[in-house]
Amino acid sequence: METPQLFQEIASLPPEAQQQLQDFVAFLKARYPTMSSAKARRPKLADEPFIGMWRDRKDMADSTTWVRQLRQREWERAK
């Protein structure tokens, strides 16, 4: 249904039905917040306290090597 036709259909409803429709739209908006309002509530990742918590660890300067060594130690223990 196209928007102009939808508006005509709504206008043809009795006032009580139009009020019910308004209430239903308000309910849906509360249940399914828009992306912009959801993003507004979400803090920036860079502002999270855990960001940078390993910044000063010298053993993690090369994270790929650190993970490779950690996995190797764990796999050797599992044998």
pLDDT at 46: 85
What would the two tokens of residue 47 be? 């502002």
Domain of 17, in residue numbers: 3-78
How many structural domains compose the chain?
1
pTM equals: 0.42
Q: What is the pLDDT of residues 43-54, one digit of tens each?
A: 788 888 888 888
Report the pLDDT value the prediction gives residue 14, as an integer from 0 to 100: 95
Q: Check: CB of residue 66 under 8 Å from CB of residue 60.
A: yes
What sign has the CA pseudo-torsion 55, 59, 65, 71?
negative
Burial (CB count <10 Å: 0-12, 13-18, 19+), residue 16: exposed
The dihedral built from the CA positions of residue 26, 27, 30 and 35, taken in this order, carries a sign that is: negative
pLDDT tens digits for range 11-36: 999 999 999 999 999 999 989 877 66
